Amino acid sequence: MKILVTGGAGFIGSHTVVELYKAGYESIILDNFSNSEKAVLDGLTTIIGQSVKYYEADINDAAAWDKVFTEQQIDGIIHFAANKAVGESVKEPLKYYRNNVAATVLMLEKMQEHGVSNLVFSSSCTVYGQPDALPVTEKSSVKPANSPYGNTKQICEEIISDTVATEKGLKAISLRYFNPIGAHESALIGELPIGVPANLVPFITQTVAGLRGQLSVFGDDYPTSDGTAVRDYIHVVDLAKAHVSALALLLEQKDKNTYYDFFNIGTGKGSTVLEVIQAFESSTGLKVDYAIKPRREGDVTAVYADCTKSNEVLGWKAEKTLAEALADAWRWQVAVSKR
């Protein structure tokens, strides 16, 4: 069974390709390598023991979609490809609406044209904005987004839901995941942002590796245990496995005309920025040079998941610890630095 993975050379996508292989699926990657490197393909080949078919193309290219669907018998799509930096989205909103929203519309149109019925969509906990209560459940209100990035995820979920409601046979799941970190235990694939990292953990590892200056901790005046913002940090391998579970659930709905649902994917535990730094230092024995800076526009105070629905309906549960994720992230950084 062939699964098209858009953004499959990226951080989460590449780990999902590995887990799909382990579950017996064949992955086809569609990626323009704008935020990834082709070296990832070599890492995937080493991990799974065979090369992965890929198409180098942009997801806004209609001809590319036609080429993939014509040449491959695609049974489902896991859609990762998107711009994802909150801060950048505030500065360049049109870039995010074009690449995240317009491309999703095009994908759905091409799925209709070519009879592809199953979609797992990479959504985000940003759809909840600043929640009224924690932990966040799937029944929590979807709030006005704090950033254009978060708004693109809300809009895409609505577009997918509306399309499922009118397109007979289309089935989709949106995974609202929290903060993915870590790397594959082999240190052959991991998070490799192009340019300055927008996320906490790669900035920590690059700072400790001497590639960045002092780490900036944005805000120490939040109403949290130590004044820094709280997030739910999930190991990327656990997150990848959730996509395989979601795909399996979709395939179980083959006799239904339509199916749409959404799930939180996290650990169920929030950690402050300072707690993450301390956990990194404890798991690696290395010190992190950091300084407190003003709050960053678009950030919320705290968000972490209630994953009861994912545990019960998907049959999935996060297994790896924060310390394991940070140790894996550091091993990956060391491996990258040796290249």
Please pick, among 149, 177, 222, 304, the residue that the annotation labels catalytic. 149
CB of 149 within 8 A of CB of 96?
Answer: yes
Res. 49: pLDDT tops 80:
yes
- Identify which of 89, 78, 84 has the alpha carbon closest to the alpha carbon of residue 16: 78
Extract the runs of DSSP E, i.e. beta strands, from 257-324.
259-265, 271-272, 290-293
Res. 246: pLDDT tops 80:
yes
| Four-point Cα dihedral 116, 119, 122, 124, nearest 10 | 140
> What's the Cα-to-Cα distance from 321 to each of 118, 207, 278, 283, rounded to whole Å?
31, 22, 14, 11
- Identify which of 131, 113, 130 has the alpha carbon closest to the alpha carbon of residue 167: 113
DSSP summary character for residue 241:
H
Which range, of 32-41, 187-196, 274-283, 314-323, averages the lowest pLDDT?
187-196
- Identify which of 23, 69, 19 has the alpha carbon closest to the alpha carbon of residue 251: 23
- Identify which of 78, 7, 79, 70 has the alpha carbon closest to the alpha carbon of residue 245: 78
Q: What is the pLDDT of residues 129-163, one digit of tens each?
A: 888 899 999 999 998 888 899 899 999 999 999 99
| 233 given a catalytic annotation | no
For residues 269 and 287, what is the distance between their CA atoms, to the nearest angstrom? 24
Q: What is the pLDDT of residues 64-96, one digit of tens each?
A: 999 999 999 999 999 999 998 888 899 999 999
Specify the residue for token string 């909103």.
Answer: 93
Cross-strand bridge partners of residue 215 = 290
Binning pLDDT at 50, 70 and 90, where does residue 276 land?
very high
Q: E strand or H helix at 77, and its extent?
A: strand 74-79
Residue 63 confidence (pLDDT): 98
Residue 88 confidence (pLDDT): 87
For residues 43 and 13, what is the distance between their CA atoms, to the nearest angstrom? 13
Res. 272: pLDDT tops 90:
yes
Res. 194: pLDDT tops 80:
no
- Cα angle 273, 274, 280; round to 5: 95
Q: Please give the structure tokens belonging to residue 76.
A: 């489902």
Res. 339: pLDDT tops 80:
no
DSSP summary character for residue 99:
I
